[in-house]
Amino acid sequence: MSQQSQQQEAVAATGTAAGTEPAAGIEPVIEAKGLSLGQIVRKRFFGHAGAMAGLIVFAVIFLLAFSSEGWGPIPGWWKYQHDQVTPLVNEGVPTWTLPFSFGDHPFGQDRIGRDLFAMTMRGAQQSIIIMVIIGLVAGIIGVVVGALAGYFRGWVEAVLMRLTDIIIIIPVLLLAAVMSQTAGRRDAGTWFAQFAASNGVVVLGIFLGLVAWVGLARLVRGEFLSLREREFVDAARISGASNARIIFKHILPNAVGVVIVNGTLLMSSAILLETALSYLGVGVKAPDTSLGLLISQNQEAFSTRPWLFWWPGLFIVLICLCINFIGDGLRDAFDPRQKKFNAKRAKSRRAPAANPAVMADGAEAEPSLDVDGSVSPVSGYVPDSEAFGGAPGRAEDTSGRNP
């Protein structure tokens, strides 16, 4: 066989391998063949270590908060309530000692004898409830407003986006203060005051959700502006589909990644917003409690009784980190362009064999092209540089075989 024929076969083999095999260490997260979109997203999400760790920790916090204090008519297993006053034990110092001796008050007690574990679990309950309400309310409004503005354009987009701009410039703290004062006037006799007096957390979550949707609406609008020009939308419109069906059946499923990811990030920021409002005294109020209110009430005891400050702060940080990790995993799961680099496999592919000229069975190795365009010395020849864009020249035979 001539050198030219060997060169052509080597180039063809390299092109075939490059077209069928990914680069060393770069591989898709999963093999999508034969899988639905839901299965692809689920496998990618379950393969994300950070997301799974955040999901497990958040599930533990959720179960601990709602099972210990109870919810509604369902009683909890913890022996103290968040508003129950008991005698001080060891001046309120935490009774939790390693490894598993919890005692009567594992998180300690405040100045008047209330159990801090019960108050922290009650505060975690309130923060999670507000987070879910804000996520649902803001998510629904943001998706609807962004979808309508991005799909219809024209005067619909102008009106909705100007409404969004107005809500953005309104101070949330000022509106929260007004709402809090209105809800606190129990003698006013209005239905809002009566409802807010007994459901303060729900009212606060709904109110914050009504002003927290603007960022999501802008993101959904931008996604719809891009998707409305795609071919599948034109095909649906030509086939006679209504605008509502095109929006919610064809375009929205393709934008669900943006909605879910930004919805989780919105829920994480909602916890911090509720904490800030409660810290300033315009959020959850006594006799109820929240994590932000606990930090506000115990900030003066930071140097003398630091456990009153650290436990609520720790749960705020854990909840926010868990939600962010879950959102990061969802972003990677819904992005089809995500690739995973396997450094160990890349290293094993590039590592040379002990005796590359001889295979395990004694057969001679086949010629193969290197990354830089030259042929490995194992092949026994050097290709003509003209085949790779260089100046023509005669190849040198180093194998001792006749061409």
Q: Which domains does the chain have, with CATH numbers?
A: 3-25+343-388 (no CATH), 43-341 (1.10.3720.10)
Exposed, middle or buried: residue 189 (CB in 10 Å: 0-12, 13-18, 19+)?
exposed
Closest by CA to 55, choosing from 321, 338, 331, is: 321
Token code pair at residue 120: 């922290």
Q: For residue range 361-402, list pLDDT tens digits in order.
A: 545 444 444 444 444 444 444 444 444 444 444 444 444 444
In angstroms, the CA 111 to CA 114 distance is 8
Token code pair at residue 67: 């099972």
In angstroms, the CA 179 to CA 159 distance is 26
Q: Report which of residues 93 and 354 the model is more confident about.
A: 93
In angstroms, the CA 319 to CA 335 distance is 25
Q: Report which of residues 56 and 99 the model is more confident about.
A: 56
In angstroms, the CA 318 to CA 314 distance is 6
Q: Are 224 and 146 contacting, i.e. CB atoms less than 8 angstroms apart? A: yes
Mean pLDDT of 290-296: 84
Q: Which residues pair with 375 in a beta bridge?
A: 369
Q: Are 330 and 51 contacting, i.e. CB atoms less than 8 angstroms apart? A: yes
Angle at 402 between CA 396 and CA 403, to 5 degrees: 65
| pTM of full prediction above 0.75 | no
Mean pLDDT of 104-127: 86
How many residues are recorded in the chain?
A: 403
Closest by CA to 213, choosing from 261, 168, 254, is: 168
In angstroms, the CA 151 to CA 148 distance is 5
Token code pair at residue 105: 């008050």
Mean pLDDT of 256-284: 82
- Identify the pLDDT of residue 156: 92
Cα-to-chain-centroid distance, residue 119: 28
Q: Which residues pair with 28 in a beta bridge?
A: 339
- Identify the pLDDT of residue 91: 76
Cα-to-chain-centroid distance, residue 382: 52
In angstroms, the CA 210 to CA 202 distance is 12
Task: Give the E-state strand segments of 17-100 in sequence order.
Answer: 26-28, 70-71, 74-75
Q: Which residues pair with 5 in a beta bridge?
A: none
Res. 175: pLDDT tops 80: no
Res. 10: pLDDT tops 50: no
Helical residues (DSSP H) of 47-171, grouped into ranges = 49-69, 116-152, 154-169
